[in-house]
């Protein structure tokens, strides 16, 4: 049997480095290695990153989102809808894929054992992690951290969650465009179920469109399996989060080093990949692998469902296993398993230990999250068979033992493989409840120098037995016993664990044997086996599961755990309750769950996933590290208590009535917590009530404590208003009267402070001190007041605010008595009587002592017959004091009115159908006249669809006329368009397969376009591109619909040619102007041209296959050919690939 290649330890690190280089090689592209690719180590089982097995791997999966209008080449930025194939009305999205084990070398699939299974789900939906979706009467609360998983034969779904947020969930579209990927180890579930149909449902996906990138969603699962009859292989599973969005043709190189190809024979390499958001319609992303080592020559990779120019094309190529649904375009989900094309070892040669892979993308955005390899390997297999030595036989694979019973074990070592081994080591992990008694080791070979076996209590939950064997030679007899280990354990007798934990007396025993191939350095790990089952159907499949023990107790050994631990917390910062807040109540390393036992659907709480803050007591379970049978239930009671302080006193917006007052009131309000509450204020009286009164200005703090001693403080500040204050404006006040002060004294002042509204009262003070009210002003907004026309005497201003806070100010006006009179103005009343105004001065006192001089020249007390305009009069009294008054006879204003309108689109009308409404402030008796349109009887409405300007005239009761202009707007809609081929020059013909650009030049508020290209195809784009697949004359039409539903159409003809070839009738070599000096066909759209010229004797005198050449120049062997008739022949390839010939004659003219 020929040797086979193996992975080395260096290979693991090279893959990680390679994934890093893949994403970060080019600075001109957006590439992020958010989660470095690492070998995936299973949650349970051997701690291996390379599976050295007789077996292989498979990838299965499907899409949970598809196009609303399914198409092979549409991308996922079109409208998307859920795939829901499980006939379960409670799921919104679901799909399935079958796991089918191969029958390689006659292997029975029912005997194939699952070694590892990793589930991945991915998608792009809304930015939030959690959101609700309703469809068909079902409302679901989606969480990107949770999916529903169903194995073959299972009726109900199991909720699966990523532990520690594996792998990556962006917080928004600004992070990796929102492409999320989750992972969970589902080995236990898949091991129990085996092959069959697997379902995944309710990924947190969204229907609709997701912008330029779009929405997508689906899942994949990698399964590593073994069967003794299968070929020996090394399998490595890598995962991470490699995001790339590139707009340049950048290359990413991946250097792989450290594997060892077989020295002779065929080298076989199988590769699996999972990617997301690859586009089916695009090109430009590919994967290549170098031929040989350092050759610089690369082979581009593909499989049957993609091509070399678009590797990530939304295809699922996983060996033909059934899927539901089984789509070709999986809109963003790429799963692939394929063999490298290593014929004659042209890519990976015998003995080769390194290679390079090159990746690139042009315009796509995608994420790679799983890369899995298998390579045919030389057999490295160290067997460690562990058996119970007291003749106890298992019942249904479970050993029944008594409590506190000594259990003797014997572990035997054999080299079942073909290779010598180094650094061999056995480790047996004990349960936390099992007691170690003794251990001894015996090595039977003369070679090697194993160390003594020992017990290390610091390794594992209950300690571990360690045997450092070291070197193990190769052997020709795989059944030869090389050494053995004998040890004794004591079964548990009490199910009460440490610090209140409750533990099941049943326990399991497992371990592993590790080492490395002595020749290649490739590490391996294998579980301990219990031997080979007696099952005749699968005689060669070892039992490598843990040894299970059931402890039989004659009495009650479980000590009682009094009560349930209650943990009360309140008012913690952040959105959740950190695990660190409760960790001190449990042993170090304790894990926390919301269910026990912690199955796949249980939610784990850790540093990345805090407990939720809920206002109720919830039960959780603490599980002892290393032994999931030991648990402690506890109640977590979180109370959110919030305290706010408000001011209950309200003095017109102020918390204290007047400056210096002590009449404020504050009250504390509590939300949450557990009553009763206690209150402690820091006011001078140290009040302990819910509210405090009679407070002056200041800041007051209250501390509220509930019955669980949760305390929260809050503060409030009470502010007093400014005092009411009267400030005189001496610059604008008049207190001394003379002839110029004939209007009387003036006092101007501002009332400051206090609370609005404020009031100012003016009182005159008599000789005896009595006060008499003169005037009062009050304002809710204005604080500046004035009193005018004051006679000489003493006055006092009394101001107060809304809270009756007050202030006073006294002043005196001095001087002679001012000129005193009143006036009367009679305005114009009708536009038809423009000179009917009048003005009259009415003096106070003796009218005979007053003289008048009007601007019209009149000297009487009044004037009449006035037109609109400005007038003035100078009035003089007997003291010689005079005053000038100005008057205005206002012109009559035309009636004020407004015109409103309402428009309506009438398809086909020349303009917008517009209804105008005349709006008058008062219901007056008016006449309304329109210059056109259809008006109502009273003229208050007019309707027209004819574009143009219209005049409306309104005549009021005062005879005045006013006019306004209104306009009816035109309504334009057309469907004009143009089109261009690859050569935009006018008159250039169009050919089959030319990309023709159609551009709409439509006018109007266009909402939709419908193109009919005349060949049975159509488009709804505004400016689509189209290629014709056959020649002919076609009628292209465009139908546009505007926002109002109006439709316009236009059609234009287009002629499509298959190709063009034309032969000139004659040519003139050596012509004076240099034109028509060579004979050659004129052609377009043909390839593979060959051209012959024959003389009249049938001799070939010219030949060329250069389609870009000039043709025959009229010479034969360097001499000018004679004028006359010649024969040509053509051979060429038409655009459809067919070969054609053409021949004829032409003239040579000299």
Question: pLDDT tens for residues 1015-1042?
Answer: 999 999 989 999 988 889 999 999 999 8
CA 546 to chain centroid: 44
CATH code, domain carrying 656: 2.60.40
Evaluate whether 615 touches 639 at the Cβ level (below 8 Å): yes
Please tell me whether residues 1049 and 1110 are part of one structural domain: no
**Rounded Cα gap, residues 385 and 389, in angstroms:** 12
E strand spans, 417-493: 421-429, 435-443, 454-456, 464-472, 483-490
Nearby residues of 1056 by Cβ (< 8 Å), 6 or more positions away: 990, 991, 992, 994, 1028, 1030, 1031, 1032, 1033, 1034
Q: Which of 386, 501, 487, 385 is nearest to 435 (CA)?
A: 487
Final residue of a domain: which of 718, 741, 758? 718
* 218/816: higher pLDDT: 218
1082-1095: pLDDT as tens digits: 888 888 899 999 99
**Is residue 556 packed enough to be buried (19+ CB in 10 Å), middle (13-18) or exposed (0-12)?**
exposed
Residue 14 pLDDT grade (very low, low, confident, very high; cuts 50, 70, 90): very low
Residue 292 has pLDDT above 70, yes or no: yes
Please tell me whether residues 866 and 904 are part of one structural domain: no
Do the bridges between strand 806-815 and strand 736-737 make them parallel or antiparallel, or are there none, so unpaired?
A: parallel
Evaluate whether 137 touches 163 at the Cβ level (below 8 Å): no
* 1057/998: higher pLDDT: 998
Evaluate whether 964 touches 899 at the Cβ level (below 8 Å): yes
Please tell me whether residues 475 and 519 are part of one structural domain: yes
Paired residues of 1062 in beta bridges? 1082
Residues 739-753 as b or e (16 or more Cβ within 10 Å = b):
bebbebbbbbbbbbb
Please tell me whether residues 934 and 985 are part of one structural domain: no
Instruction: Give one DSSP letter per residue of 941-993, joined into a string.
Output: EEEE-S-EEEEEEEE-TTS-EEEEEEEEPB---B--EEEE-SS-STT--EETT
Residue 798's pLDDT is: 92
Residue 20's pLDDT is: 35
Do the bridges between strand 1139-1148 and strand 1066-1067 make them parallel or antiparallel, or are there none, so unpaired?
A: parallel
53 within a domain of the structure (yes/no): yes
Residue 817's pLDDT is: 66
Mean pLDDT of 907-924: 85
Please tell me whether residues 794 and 834 are part of one structural domain: no
346-387: pLDDT as tens digits: 998 886 766 777 767 666 677 889 988 888 877 778 899 999
Residue 1017's pLDDT is: 94
Instruction: Return the ∠ at Cα 789 (arms to 786 and 793), rounded to 5°.
Output: 100
630 within a domain of the structure (yes/no): no
* 224/878: higher pLDDT: 224
Q: Which of 327, 197, 243, 234 is nearest to 37 (CA)?
A: 243
Please tell me whether residues 582 and 702 are part of one structural domain: no
Nearby residues of 447 by Cβ (< 8 Å), 6 or more positions away: 471, 473
606-657: pLDDT as tens digits: 887 899 988 788 999 998 876 677 888 999 888 888 899 999 888 888 888 8
Longest dimension (CA), the chain: 155
Nearby residues of 479 by Cβ (< 8 Å), 6 or more positions away: 414
Residue 534's pLDDT is: 65
755-765: pLDDT as tens digits: 888 899 999 99
Residue 818's pLDDT is: 66
Residue 261 has pLDDT above 70, yes or no: no
Evaluate whether 173 touches 124 at the Cβ level (below 8 Å): no
Instruction: Give one DSSP letter per residue of 830-872, joined into a string.
Output: -TT--S-EEEEEEESS-GGG-EEEETTS--SSEEEEE-SEEEE
Residue 539's pLDDT is: 64
Residue 75's pLDDT is: 87
CATH code, domain carrying 765: 2.60.40.2470
881 within a domain of the structure (yes/no): no
Give kind and range of the element (H or E) at residue 725. strand 725-728
Number of domain units in the chain: 9
Please tell me whether residues 341 and 390 are part of one structural domain: no
Residue 557 pLDDT grade (very low, low, confident, very high; cuts 50, 70, 90): very low
Final residue of a domain: which of 312, 344, 376? 376
DSSP-based three-state secondary structure for 47: coil
888 within a domain of the structure (yes/no): no
Residue 15 pLDDT grade (very low, low, confident, very high; cuts 50, 70, 90): very low
Q: How far apart are the first and last CA of the chain?
A: 82
* 279/116: higher pLDDT: 116
Residue 248's pLDDT is: 43
Nearby residues of 652 by Cβ (< 8 Å), 6 or more positions away: 755, 756, 801, 802, 803
138-184: pLDDT as tens digits: 999 999 999 999 999 999 999 999 877 789 999 999 898 999 999 99
Residue 252 pLDDT grade (very low, low, confident, very high; cuts 50, 70, 90): low
Evaluate whether 500 touches 632 at the Cβ level (below 8 Å): yes
Evaluate whether 757 touches 778 at the Cβ level (below 8 Å): yes
**Is residue 96 packed enough to be buried (19+ CB in 10 Å), middle (13-18) or exposed (0-12)?**
buried
Residue 499 pLDDT grade (very low, low, confident, very high; cuts 50, 70, 90): low
Please tell me whether residues 207 and 325 are part of one structural domain: yes
Evaluate whether 111 touches 227 at the Cβ level (below 8 Å): yes
**Rounded Cα gap, residues 603 and 161, in angstroms:** 7
Do the bridges between strand 232-245 and strand 51-63 make them parallel or antiparallel, or are there none, so unpaired?
A: antiparallel
Residue 588's pLDDT is: 83
Please tell me whether residues 296 and 432 are part of one structural domain: no
Residue 258's pLDDT is: 45
Residue 25's pLDDT is: 35
Residue 527 has pLDDT above 70, yes or no: yes
Residue 2 pLDDT grade (very low, low, confident, very high; cuts 50, 70, 90): very low
450-472: pLDDT as tens digits: 889 999 998 887 899 999 999 99
Mean pLDDT of 205-222: 94
Residue 197 has pLDDT above 90, yes or no: yes
252 within a domain of the structure (yes/no): yes
Residue 526 pLDDT grade (very low, low, confident, very high; cuts 50, 70, 90): confident
Poorest-confidence range of 4-18, 415-429, 805-819, 947-961? Answer: 4-18
**Backbone φ, ψ for residue 857 (5° rounding):** 100, -10
Lookup: tokens for 722: 């400014």
890 within a domain of the structure (yes/no): no
Residue 16 has pLDDT above 60, yes or no: no
Residue 880 has pLDDT above 90, yes or no: no
Residue 13 has pLDDT above 50, yes or no: no
805-827: pLDDT as tens digits: 888 999 998 877 667 789 999 99
Evaluate whether 1114 touches 1070 at the Cβ level (below 8 Å): yes
Poorest-confidence range of 601-610, 832-841, 943-952? Answer: 601-610
Residue 874's pLDDT is: 92
Share of the chain above pLDDT 70, in %: 91
Residue 284's pLDDT is: 67
Residue 63 pLDDT grade (very low, low, confident, very high; cuts 50, 70, 90): very high
In order of 353, 895, 1126, 1142, the CA distances from 830 in angstroms are: 112, 12, 108, 101
Task: Give residue 607's domain range.
Answer: 565-625
The helices-and-strands tally (H runs, E runs) of the chain is: 2, 87
Give kind and range of the element (H or E) at residue 18. helix 9-24
In order of 108, 238, 401, 448, 893, the CA distances from 153 in angstroms are: 20, 30, 33, 50, 93
DSSP state of 572: -
Residues 190-199 as b or e (16 or more Cβ within 10 Å = b):
bbebbbebbb
**pTM for the full predicted model:** 0.52
Please tell me whether residues 1099 and 1012 are part of one structural domain: no
* 972/2: higher pLDDT: 972
Residue 560 has pLDDT above 70, yes or no: no
Paired residues of 159 in beta bridges? 148
Residue 920 pLDDT grade (very low, low, confident, very high; cuts 50, 70, 90): confident
Q: Which of 374, 438, 441 is nearest to 411 (CA)?
A: 441
CATH code, domain carrying 1029: 2.60.40.10
Please tell me whether residues 1050 and 1085 are part of one structural domain: no
595 within a domain of the structure (yes/no): yes
The average confidence (pLDDT) of the chain is 85
Lookup: tokens for 323: 């899927």
Residue 660's pLDDT is: 84
Length of the chain (residues): 1150
* 943/988: higher pLDDT: 943
Final residue of a domain: which of 576, 598, 625? 625
Do the bridges between strand 113-124 and strand 180-185 make them parallel or antiparallel, or are there none, so unpaired?
A: antiparallel
Number of other CB atoms surrounding residue 1136 within 10 Å? 11
Please tell me whether residues 367 and 386 are part of one structural domain: no
Mean pLDDT of 491-520: 78
* 593/43: higher pLDDT: 593
The residue behind tokens 């409750």 is 502
Nearby residues of 87 by Cβ (< 8 Å), 6 or more positions away: none
892 within a domain of the structure (yes/no): no
Helices of type H across 160-203? 187-193
Give Rg (Cα) of the chain.
49
Residues 884-920 as b or e (16 or more Cβ within 10 Å = b):
eeebebeebebbebeeeeeeebeeeeebbbbebebee
**Rounded Cα gap, residues 403 and 401, in angstroms:** 7
Poorest-confidence range of 260-269, 852-861, 1082-1091? Answer: 260-269
């Amino acid at each position: 049997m020929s040797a086979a290649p193996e992975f080395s330890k260096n290979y693991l690190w090279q893959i990680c480095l390679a994934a890093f280089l893949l994403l970060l090689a080019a600075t001109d592209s957006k590439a992020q290695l958010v989660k470095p690719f690492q070998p995936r180590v299973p949650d349970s089982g051997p701690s291996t990153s390379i599976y050295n097995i007789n077996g292989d791997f498979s990838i299965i999966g499907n899409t949970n989102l598809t196009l609303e209008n399914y198409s092979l080449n549409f991308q996922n930025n079109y409208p998307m809808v859920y795939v829901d194939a499980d006939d379960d009305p409670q799921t919104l999205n679901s799909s399935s894929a079958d796991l089918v084990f191969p029958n390689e070398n006659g292997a029975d699939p029912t005997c194939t054992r699952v070694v590892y299974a990793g589930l991945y789900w991915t998608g792009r939906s809304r930015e939030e992690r959690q959101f609700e979706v309703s469809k068909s009467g079902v409302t679901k609360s989606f969480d990107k951290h949770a999916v529903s998983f169903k194995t073959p034969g299972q009726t109900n779904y199991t909720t699966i969650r990523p532990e520690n947020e594996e792998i990556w969930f962006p917080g928004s579209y600004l992070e990796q465009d929102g492409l999320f990927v989750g992972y969970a180890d589902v080995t236990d579930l898949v091991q129990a179920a085996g092959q069959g149909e697997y379902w995944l449902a309710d990924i947190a996906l969204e229907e609709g469109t997701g912008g330029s990138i779009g929405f997508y969603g689906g899942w994949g699962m990698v399964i590593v399996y073994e069967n003794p009859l299968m070929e020996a292989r090394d399998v490595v599973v890598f995962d991470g989060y490699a995001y790339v969005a590139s707009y340049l043709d950048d290359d990413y190189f991946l250097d792989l080093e450290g594997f060892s190809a077989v020295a002779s024979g065929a080298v076989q390499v199988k590769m699996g990949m999972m990617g997301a958001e690859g586009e089916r319609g695009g090109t430009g992303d590919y994967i290549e692998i170098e031929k040989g080592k350092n050759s610089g020559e690369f082979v581009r990779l593909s499989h049957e469902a993609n091509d070399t120019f678009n590797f990530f094309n939304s295809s699922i190529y996983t060996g033909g296993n059934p899927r539901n649904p089984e789509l070709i375009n999986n809109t963003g989900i790429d799963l692939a398993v394929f063999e490298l094309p290593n014929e004659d070892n042209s890519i990976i040669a015998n003995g080769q230990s390194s290679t390079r892979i090159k990746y690139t993308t042009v315009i796509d955005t995608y994420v790679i999250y799983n890369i899995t390899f298998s390579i045919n390997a030389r057999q490295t297999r160290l067997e460690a068979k562990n058996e119970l030595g007291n003749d106890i036989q298992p019942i249904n694979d479970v050993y029944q033992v008594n409590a506190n019973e000594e259990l003797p074990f014997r572990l035997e070592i054999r080299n079942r493989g073909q290779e010598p081994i180094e650094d061999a080591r056995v480790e047996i992990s004990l349960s936390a409840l099992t007691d170690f008694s003794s251990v001894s080791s015996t090595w039977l070979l003369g070679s090697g120098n194993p160390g003594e076996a020992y017990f290390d209590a610091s390794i594992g939950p209950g300690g571990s037995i360690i045997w450092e064997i070291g070197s193990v030679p190769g052997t020709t007899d795989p059944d030869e016993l090389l050494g053995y280990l004998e040890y004794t354990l004591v079964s548990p007798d009490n199910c009460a664990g440490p610090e209140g934990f409750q533990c099941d007396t049943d326990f399991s025993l497992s371990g592993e044997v590790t080492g490395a191939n002595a020749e290649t350095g490739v590490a391996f790990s294998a579980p301990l086996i219990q031997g080979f089952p007696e099952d005749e159907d699968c005689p060669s499949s070892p039992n490598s599961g843990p040894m299970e023990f059931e402890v039989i107790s004659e009495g009650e050994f479980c000590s009682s755990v009094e009560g349930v631990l209650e943990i009360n917390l309140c008012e913690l910062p952040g959105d959740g309750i950190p695990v660190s807040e409760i960790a001190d109540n449990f042993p170090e390393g304790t894990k926390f769950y919301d269910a026990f036992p912690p199955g796949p659907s249980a939610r784990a709480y850790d540093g990345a996933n805090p407990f939720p803050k809920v206002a109720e007591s919830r039960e959780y379970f603490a599980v002892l590290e290393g032994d999931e049978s030991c648990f402690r239930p506890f109640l977590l009671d979180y109370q959110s208590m919030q305290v706010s302080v408000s001011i209950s006193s309200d003095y017109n917006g102020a918390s204290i009535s007047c400056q210096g007052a002590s009449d404020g009131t504050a009250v504390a309000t509590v939300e949450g917590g557990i009553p009763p509450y206690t209150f402690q204020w820091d006011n001078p009286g140290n009040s302990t009530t819910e509210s405090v009164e009679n407070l002056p200005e200041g800041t007051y703090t209250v501390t509220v404590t509930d019955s669980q001693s949760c305390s929260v403080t809050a503060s409030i500040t009470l502010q007093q208003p400014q005092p009411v204050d009267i400030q005189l404006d001496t610059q604008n006040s008049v207190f001394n009267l003379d002839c110029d002060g004939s209007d009387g004294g003036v006092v101007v002042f501002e009332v400051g402070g206090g609370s609005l509204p404020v009031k100012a009262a003016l009182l005159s003070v008599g000789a005896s001190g009595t006060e008499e009210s003169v005037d009062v002003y009050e304002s809710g907004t204005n604080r500046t007041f004035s009193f005018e026309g004051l006679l000489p005497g003493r006055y006092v201003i009394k101001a107060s605010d809304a809270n009756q806070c007050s202030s006073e100010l006294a002043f005196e006006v001095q001087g002679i008595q001012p000129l005193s009179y009143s006036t009367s103005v009679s305005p114009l009343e009708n536009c038809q009587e423009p000179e009917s105004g009048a003005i009259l001065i009415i003096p106070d006192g003796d009218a005979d002592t007053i003289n008048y001089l009007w601007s019209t020249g009149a000297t009487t007390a009044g004037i009449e017959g006035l037109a609109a305009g400005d007038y003035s009069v100078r009035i003089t009294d007997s003291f010689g004091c005079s005053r000038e008054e100005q008057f205005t006879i206002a012109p009559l204003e035309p009636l004020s009115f407004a015109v409103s309108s309402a428009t309506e689109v009438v398809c086909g009308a020349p303009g917008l159908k517009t209804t105008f409404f005349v709006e008058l402030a008062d219901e007056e008796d008016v006449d309304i006249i329109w210059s056109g349109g259809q008006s109502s009887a009273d003229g208050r409405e007019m309707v027209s669809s004819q574009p143009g300007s219209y005049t409306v005239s309104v005549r009021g009761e005062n005879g005045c006329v006013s006019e306004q202009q209104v306009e009816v707007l035109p309504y334009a809609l057309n469907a004009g368009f143009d089109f261009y081929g690859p050569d935009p020059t006018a008159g250039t013909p169009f050919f089959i397969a030319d990309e023709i650009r159609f551009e709409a030049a439509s006018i109007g508020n266009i909402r939709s376009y419908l193109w009919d290209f005349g060949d049975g195809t159509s488009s709804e784009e505004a400016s689509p591109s189209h290629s014709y697949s056959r020649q002919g004359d076609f009628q292209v039409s465009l139908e546009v619909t505007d926002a109002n539903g109006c439709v316009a159409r236009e059609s234009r003809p287009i002629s499509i040619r298959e190709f063009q070839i034309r032969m000139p009738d004659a040519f003139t070599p050596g012509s004076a102007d240099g034109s028509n000096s060579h004979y050659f066909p004129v052609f377009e759209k043909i390839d593979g041209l060959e051209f012959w010229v024959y003389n009249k004797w049938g001799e070939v005198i010219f030949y060329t296959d250069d389609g870009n050449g000039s043709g025959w120049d009229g010479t034969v062997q360097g001499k000018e050919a004679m004028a006359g008739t010649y024969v040509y022949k053509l051979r060429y390839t038409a655009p459809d690939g067919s070969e054609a010939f053409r021949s004829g004659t032409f003239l040579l003219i000299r």
